[in-house]
Amino acid sequence: MVKQLDENNAGPDHVGIRLWGAYEAWKAEFVSAMVEAGHAWFTPSRATLLGFVPRTGLRQSDLIARMGISKQAVQQLVDGLEGEGVLERIADPDDKRGRILRHTEKGRAALDDADRIKAEIETRYRARLGEERFRLLVEALGEVRRGG
């Protein structure tokens, strides 16, 4: 039997929980829309990894450092995305031992869809909150992120 938690037992309510919950809701909406747009390979973990790969590409060792997860976990995600034809590894011209990760044509098409979908989500948030509240939200989040 599954025990359900009521709101009194759900744990503390603080800004971190609210920020995390808002991010999780946004990411679920984003991933769902990407899958609906024809990117069946797109999952939350792959979305996270792709968020760390700039459009210009980067060294795989730098990706590992940026993500802060194990080399093996990054390797597994990259292998999967390479297998799907989304990312490719090329020789690093500055270090023949190193590999550069970059988006393939399929990966760049997914980025174009991602840009469109993010704008659509933002439009829905603006409609839900109203222009002024949305502007204030964006400003507040920017201040929190900058630490000021």
Q: pLDDT of 10-29, one tens digit each?
A: 678 899 999 999 999 999 99
Give all strands (DSSP E) within the chain, no chain letters: 58-59, 87-92, 95-103
Nearest to 87 by CA among 79, 97, 96: 79
Number of domains in the chain: 1
Position 31 in a domain:
no
Does residue 135 belong to any structural domain of this protein?
Answer: no
* 80 burial type by CB count under 10 A (0-12 exposed, 13-18 middle, 19+ buried): middle
CATH number of the domain that 88 lies in? 1.10.10.10
90 in any annotated domain: yes
Using one digit for the tens of pLDDT, what is the confidence trace for 89-114? 999 888 888 899 999 999 999 999 99
Interacting residues of 74 by C-beta distance below 8 A, sequence separation 6+: 49, 60, 63, 64, 67
At 113-123, the pLDDT tens digits run: 999 999 999 99
Please, what sign has the CA dihedral across residues 28, 47, 21, 131?
negative
